[in-house]
Structure 1
Amino acid sequence: MFPTVFSRSSLRFPRYNYALQLRRAFATPAEPQDLRDESMDKKPRKYTTPLRRSASASLPIRANPTPTRSSIQTVFTLATAERYLLSRMRGFPVLPSHSQKFHESWWIPRWGKHGKEGEVFVFANGSFVCWGLEEDEAHRFAVEVIGRIPGIEVSPLKASPGNRGIRIRGGSHRVALTTRLQGDLIILGKNPPLNELTPPAKLPAMIFPEETLFARYAFSQALSRSTALSALEVALEEYLSSMALLPHSLAKTGKPGMGRTALVKKLGELMKFRQGLNLNRENFSDVPDFYWTEPELEKYFNSVSDALDVKVRTDSVNDKITYAAEAQSVLRQLLTETSTHSMELVIIALIAVEVVIALIRDGPELWEIFTGQDHKRPDPSHAEKV
Structure 2
Amino acid sequence: MSLRHAMTPWRILRFQSLNSFHLQNIRRVNSKSIFLNSNTNIKTTSNNTKRYPKSIKVNPSKHLRRNVGKKSGSHDDQETANVLSTYKVKTCSVITTAEKYNLEKGIALLRDRGIIPVTLIPDEIITFKYIHEGEKTDIMVLADNGSVISWGLNEKELLDNFIPILSEARINPLDESKYETEDIDFIEIENSKALSKNMESHLHNGSYIMDDLLIVNSIDPELGLLDKAAFSSGIARSTSLAVLEAALEEHTQKSRIITEKFSRGIQINLKEKHFLTSIGKLFLIRGRLNLYSNIIETPDLYWSEPRLEKIYKNVSHFLDIAPRINILNSKLDYCTDHSRMLLSVLNEKKGTFLEWIIIYLITVEVCFELHHYWVSFQNSKEEKTI
Place the TM-score, normalised by the shorter chain, in its bin: 0.7 to 0.9
Q: 1:95 to 1:119 in 2, by over 3 A?
A: farther
Work out whether residues 19 and 168 of structure 1, in 8 Å CA contact, stay in contact via their aligned partners in 2.
Answer: no
Instruction: For 1:187 and 1:30, locate their aligned partners in 2 and report how far apart those are by CA, in whole Å.
Output: 28
Q: 1:269 to 1:188 in 2, by over 3 A?
A: same
Instruction: For 1:256 and 1:112, locate their aligned partners in 2 and report how far apart those are by CA, in whole Å.
Output: 58
**1:360-384 deviation per Cα after TM superposition (whole angstroms, max 9, x unaligned):** 334333567xxx7453796xxxxxx
Work out whether residues 86 and 152 of structure 1, in 8 Å CA contact, stay in contact via their aligned partners in 2.
Answer: no
Per the TM alignment, residue 104 of structure 1 is displaced from its structure 2 partner at its CA by 4.7
The equivalent residue for 1:134 is 154
Find out whether 1:294 has 2:305 as its counterpart.
yes
Q: How does 1:224-303 map to 2 (within 5 A)?
A: 224-253=236-265, 255=267, 258-280=270-292, 282-303=293-314
Work out whether residues 99 and 109 of structure 1, in 8 Å CA contact, stay in contact via their aligned partners in 2.
Answer: yes
Q: 1:143 to 1:25 in 2, by over 3 A?
A: farther
Find out whether 1:57 has 2:69 as its counterpart.
no
Letter of the 1:169 counterpart:
I
TM, length-normalised to structure 1 = 0.74
Q: 1:100 to 1:170 in 2, by over 3 A?
A: closer
> Mind listing any 5+ residue stretches in structure 2 that lack a counterpart?
1-22, 24-45
Find out whether 1:187 has 2:219 as its counterpart.
no
Find out whether 1:85 has 2:102 as its counterpart.
yes
Q: How does 1:300-339 map to 2 (within 5 A)?
A: 300-339=311-350
Task: Name whichever of 163-172 and 124-133 sits farther off.
Answer: 163-172
Q: 1:154 to 1:94 in 2, by over 3 A?
A: farther
Work out whether residues 117 and 128 of structure 2, in 8 Å CA contact, stay in contact via their aligned partners in 1.
Answer: yes
**1:203-229 deviation per Cα after TM superposition (whole angstroms, max 9, x unaligned):** xxxxx9222122111111001001111
Work out whether residues 130 and 138 of structure 1, in 8 Å CA contact, stay in contact via their aligned partners in 2.
Answer: yes
Query: Matched residue of 1:258: which SS?
Result: coil
Find out whether 1:108 has 2:127 as its counterpart.
yes
Query: Matched residue of 2:158: which SS?
Result: helix
Per the TM alignment, residue 26 of structure 1 is displaced from its structure 2 partner at its CA by 5.0
Letter of the 1:105 counterpart:
E
**1:33-90 deviation per Cα after TM superposition (whole angstroms, max 9, x unaligned):** xxxxxxx9xxx723373346249736334311489x5422110011122332223213
Q: CA RMSD in A?
A: 3.2
Work out whether residues 78 and 128 of structure 1, in 8 Å CA contact, stay in contact via their aligned partners in 2.
Answer: yes
Bigger proportion of residues as helix = 2
Paired residues, number? 329
Work out whether residues 29 and 159 of structure 1, in 8 Å CA contact, stay in contact via their aligned partners in 2.
Answer: no
TM, length-normalised to structure 2 = 0.74
Per the TM alignment, residue 356 of structure 1 is displaced from its structure 2 partner at its CA by 2.1
Letter of the 2:186 counterpart:
I
Work out whether residues 101 and 107 of structure 1, in 8 Å CA contact, stay in contact via their aligned partners in 2.
Answer: yes
Larger gyration radius, structure 1 or structure 2? 1
- Quick one: percent identity of the two aligned structures? 24
Q: 1:235 to 1:328 in 2, by over 3 A?
A: same
Q: 1:152 to 1:240 in 2, by over 3 A?
A: same
Find out whether 1:213 has 2:233 as its counterpart.
no
Instruction: For 2:153 and 2:73, locate their aligned partners in 1 and report how far apart those are by CA, in whole Å.
Output: 23
Query: Matched residue of 1:245: which SS?
Result: helix
Query: Matched residue of 2:65: which SS?
Result: helix
